[in-house]
Amino acid sequence: MAAESEKPSNKPTNHKLNNKPSLLERLSHFLLREPEDREQLVTLLHGAYENSLMDADSLAMIEGVLQVSEMQVRDIMIPRSQMDVIDITDPPETFIPHVIETAHSRFPVIEDDKNDVIGILLAKDLLRYYAGEDFEVRDMLRPAVFIPESKRLNILLKEFRSNRNHIAIVVDEYGGVAGMVTIEDVLEQIVGDIEDEYDYDEDEDNIIQNADGQYRVKALTEIADFNEAIGTDLSDEEFSTIGGLVVHQFGRLPKRDDEITLSGLRFRVLRADSRRLHTVMVEVLSDTNEN
């Protein structure tokens, strides 16, 4: 019997299955015009976004990476006055409540003074204390890494990754402790702040009244505008914004859910990070015109 002749297959060959160019290929094609400087590069990236070659999040992260290469540690560090530290002279039962309250994973450990950082304590190492083992804080300390204020963030991020370290102590030109910086602080410059349920659009009003009669207020709201909207008479001679007034009353940078009462108003912190206050909730307790 004669062998049956082979019929041509209707299936597309492999090279035709995936003939749609990838995002990287489309972006590379768009960027064939080699930019001569950073400004031209940014312009090309925005053009890629406008031509739907990348989404807004991707564009923002790339711009964040470019920005990080131009920033120094001093631009984002947590100032010494705002550092959450552990004093080696304090017993565990004294500082553990502070560790729980702040919920950090790593703490600089000092000896009497914030200028004398002797090491880093990992919060997870405190489990040994609860396990009933012999516990000596000095034995738990990891070496502290000290860096200058002028170090560029892209270099610091590379060092964080290579050394598997997540925190560094920042020193000034005289060798004194100026502050601290974490890997999260650097990454936030690239991916942005993590939003929570209290965030709202920049386009929204600075003052929003909730159904329960309380006011959600941006920290950058001018005190004069606040007074006009709520009918108060807070002084703006020393501070021009609600955030400046609230931080001054606390005497420190407050944390989320911290509360303070001023002139018949209760201010509760809704959102704050390691560097600034963002949003507060204001409740009118009494006649706020009485100071």
Look at 291 and 22; give whichever has higher pLDDT.
22
Instruction: Supply the pLDDT for residue 1.
Output: 47
3-state SS string for the chain: CCCCCCCCCCCCCHHHHCCCCCHHHHHHHHCCCCCCCHHHHHHHHHHHHHCCCCCHHHHHHHHHHHHHCCCEHHHCCEEHHHCCCEECCCCHHHHHHHHHHHCCCEEEEEECEEEEEEEEEEHHHHHHHHCCCCCCHHHHCECCCEEECCCEHHHHHHHHHHHCCCEEEEECCCCCEEEEEEHHHHHHHHHCCCCCCCCCCCCCCCEEECCCCCEEEECCCEHHHHHHHHCCCCCCCCCCEHHHHHHHHHCCCCCCCCEEEECCEEEEEEEECCCCEEEEEEEECCCCCCC
**Block residue for tokens 């552990």:** 86
Look at 120 and 40; give whichever has higher pLDDT.
120
Look at 20 and 91; give whichever has higher pLDDT.
91
Give the dihedral sign, CA 33/34/37/38: positive
Look at 161 and 56; give whichever has higher pLDDT.
161
Q: 147, 156 in Cβ contact below 8 A? A: yes
- Rg, the chain, Cα only: 27
* pLDDT above 70 coverage of the chain, percent: 79
Reply yes or no on whether the pLDDT at 32 is more than 60: no
Reply yes or no on whether the pLDDT at 256 is more than 70: yes
List pLDDT tens digits, range 231-247: 999 998 888 899 989 98
Whole-angstrom Cα distance, residue 170 to residue 177?
6
Whole-angstrom Cα distance, residue 194 to residue 180?
20
Q: Which range, of 30-39, 115-124, 207-216, averages the lowest pLDDT?
A: 30-39
Domain covering 207-284: architecture: 2-Layer Sandwich (3.30)
List pLDDT tens digits, range 183-235: 988 887 777 654 444 455 454 678 988 878 899 999 889 999 999 999 999 99
Look at 112 and 109; give whichever has higher pLDDT.
109
- The stretch 99-109 carries a mean pLDDT of 87
Mean pLDDT score of the chain: 80
Q: Which range, of 17-21, 141-145, 155-159, 180-184, averages the lowest pLDDT?
A: 17-21
75-191: CATH number: 3.10.580.10
Domain positions in the chain are 37-70, 75-191, 207-284
Instruction: Supply the pLDDT for residue 131.
Output: 77
Reply yes or no on whether the pLDDT at 266 is more than 90: yes
Instruction: Supply the pLDDT for residue 206.
Output: 85
Same fold, 75-191 and 207-284: no
Reply yes or no on whether the pLDDT at 23 is more than 70: no
Q: Residue 103 is which amino acid? A: A
